[in-house]
Structure 1
C-alpha cells in the first residue's frame, strides 16, 4: 500500500515538474530564430543531377556501427555533395572496441530529410511550367477555330 502511494506521489511530482518547466519555457518567434531566409531556386535542375540508388550496408564488416540491415533507398554522398553540400553531414559514432576500450568512427551521410523542401520547390516550379503550357495550348486551340 505504501509502495503504491509512493509511486503515485512520484508520478504526480513528475507531472508537476513537467508543467512547471513548460510554463516557464521561453517562446522564440520563428522570424527571430531563422535568419537569411530565401526561396529555393533552380531546384528542378539540381534534382535532375541526383541519382537515387538502392543499397545495403555492409553489416558484417561494420557490425559495431549497428547499421540497418536489408535494402535501403537513398543517395551516395559523392553524388549529393556537388549539388547540395549542406545536406551532407559527418556522423561520429562511438563503439566498444574491447574491454574498457572504446573508439570513435566518422563517416559522411546524406541528410535525406533536408531534401523535402527542395522537392516541394521543384514541384512548384514544374506546376508553374505546366500551367504556362496549358495557357499556351488553350490559346493555340482558340486560334485554330
Structure 2
C-alpha cells in the first residue's frame, strides 16, 4: 500500500519540477536571436552549379566510423564548397584503436539541411519566371487573333 503513495508523491514532484523549470525558462524572440537577416537571391543560379550524387560509404575500409550502409543521396563537399562554403564543415569522429588508445577521424561533410531555404528560394524564383512567361504567352496569343 505504500507504493501508490510514493508514486503519487513522485508524480507531484515531477510536475512541480517541470512547472518550476518552465517558469524560469528564458523566452527569446526570433527577431532578437537572428540578426542581419537578408533575402536569398540568385539561388537558382548557384544551385545550377551543384551536382547531386548517389554514393555508398566504404564501410569495409572505415568500419570504425560506423557510417551508414547502402546507397546514400547527397553532394560531394568539394562540389558544394565553391558555391556555398558555409554549408561545408569538418566532421570528426573519435574511435578506439587498440587498448587505451583512441584516434580522431576528420572529414568534410555538407549540411544538407541548410539547402532547404535555398531550394524554396529557387522554386519561388522559377515560379515568378513561369508567371511572367505565361503573361507574355497570353499577350502573344491576343495579338495573333
Alignment of 1:1-145 (within 5 A): 2=2, 5-6=5-6, 9-145=9-145
Structure 2 unaligned regions, length at least 5:
none
The SS at the match of 2:86 is: helix
Give me the TM-score of the superposition, normalised by structure 1.
0.92
User: Which of structure 1's runs of 4+ aligned residues deviate more than 4 A?
Assistant: 1-8
Give me the TM-score of the superposition, normalised by structure 2.
0.92
Structure 1 unaligned regions, length at least 5:
none
The answer to which of 58-67 and 69-78 deviates more is 58-67
The SS at the match of 2:133 is: helix
Deviation at 1:134, TM superposition (A): 0.4
The SS at the match of 1:114 is: helix
Distance 1:8 1:59, change over 3 A: farther
Distance 1:126 1:104, change over 3 A: same
Distance 1:4 1:64, change over 3 A: farther
What CA distance in whole angstroms lies between the structure 1 residues aligned with 2:102 and 2:3?
Answer: 40
What CA distance in whole angstroms lies between the structure 1 residues aligned with 2:6 and 2:97?
Answer: 42
